[in-house]
Amino acid sequence: MTTALITGGTAGIGRAFADRFAALGYDLVLVARNRERLDEAAAELRGEAGEERKHGPVRVETLSADLATVEGRSLVEGRLGEKDRPVDILVNNAGFGLGHSFRSGSLDDEERLIDVHIRAVLRLTHAALPGMVLRGKGSVINVASVAAFVPRGTYSASKAWVVSFSESVAAELNGTGVRCMALCPGFTHTEFHDRAEVDPNGIPSWMWLDALDVVDAAIDDLRKGLTVSVPSVKYKALVGVSKVVPRRLSTRVGRGVSKRW
């Protein structure tokens, strides 16, 4: 039976991954900080998938862990390394925005963002790969953002690292049967902006994506063997333009949207 471990799996894109994988009959390991929300999500997923799954309700394991801490990361690393309960798909989705500029923000918040967006992705991927390579199959999906292609503070820089890291790991895994892909969505209807205390009202409606659509595109791109997935034609076009405009111009554009993304 396929097992998927999803960080930040109780809401937004992480929950959408959980919904899709449950519908496919996969067992789940959900990772998040809030124990109550983990229990609620697990109960919902077991109920939603139970009628569709031939062999009974989906198995949902929960891990309450703060990936900004050594203890939290170690807990999840340990689960990924368990040989008798292998994880076939790792989705590094946990993340957050700061909603303020680098100069005006708290350095502690900046470092916490790095711990979750970079250090956790690095360590959890490293913990998952040995077993996957040994079995000759498996996938790692690292959730980045189209912000990776537009310079705008620590958030953008961390997501640019995720893209570069994922591409490097994917190249290293060539021929092993294991895949690694960076997922780069644009503005997506989730709790992300509320948590970052960012007002989304100034963002045009056409720029918004649905979380389930993002996940469907990611799964399709993973099956195609892509190393970077950018859901929706409109964001593919925007990313393409960002690669050809002068860097100084894209930096100014990034500053212009820094309070929204």
DSSP assignment string, 5-31: EEETTTSHHHHHHHHHHHHTT-EEEEE
pLDDT of residue 189: 74
What are the angstrom distances between the C-alpha of 54 and each of 25, 30, 184? 9, 22, 34
pLDDT of residue 261: 42
Helix (H) or strand (E) holding 141, with range, is strand 138-143
What the block records as the tokens of 183 is 């997922």
The structural domain count of the chain equals: 1
What are the angstrom distances between the C-alpha of 105 and each of 9, 191, 212? 27, 21, 32
- The structure tokens 């409606």 sit at 205
Quote the domain boundaries for residue 184: 3-257
Lowest mean pLDDT among 58-62, 100-104, 141-145, 156-160: 100-104
pLDDT of residue 62: 98
- The structure tokens 């079995």 sit at 135
Buried-state track 213-248, b at ≥16 Cβ within 10 A, e below 16: ebbebbbebbeeebbbbbbbeebeebbeebeeeeee
Average pLDDT, integer, range 90-111: 92
Q: What mean pLDDT value characterizes the chain?
A: 88
Angle at CA 175, nearest 5°, toward 170 and 179? 35
CATH number at residue 108: 3.40.50.720
Share of the chain above pLDDT 90, in %: 70
Average pLDDT, integer, range 134-156: 94
pLDDT of residue 250: 47
What are the angstrom distances between the C-alpha of 251 and each of 126, 245, 248? 32, 10, 5
Query: Where residue 80 falls among pLDDT bands split at 50, 70, 90?
Result: very high
Query: Where residue 57 falls among pLDDT bands split at 50, 70, 90?
Result: confident
pLDDT of residue 100: 81
Lowest mean pLDDT among 58-62, 67-71, 190-194: 190-194
Per-residue pLDDT reduced to its tens digit, 190-245: 665 555 455 555 666 767 899 999 999 999 999 999 999 999 888 898 888 766 55
Judge whether residue 251 has pLDDT over 70. Answer: no
Asked about 155 being catalytic, the answer comes back as yes
Average pLDDT, integer, range 115-133: 98
Average pLDDT, integer, range 125-139: 98
Bigger pLDDT: 244 vs 108: 108
Average pLDDT, integer, range 92-121: 93
Q: Which of 149, 155, 161, 261 is catalytic?
A: 155
pLDDT of residue 260: 41
Per-residue pLDDT reduced to its tens digit, 5-40: 999 999 999 999 999 999 999 999 999 999 999 999
Q: What are phi and psi of 119, to 5 degrees?
A: -60, -45
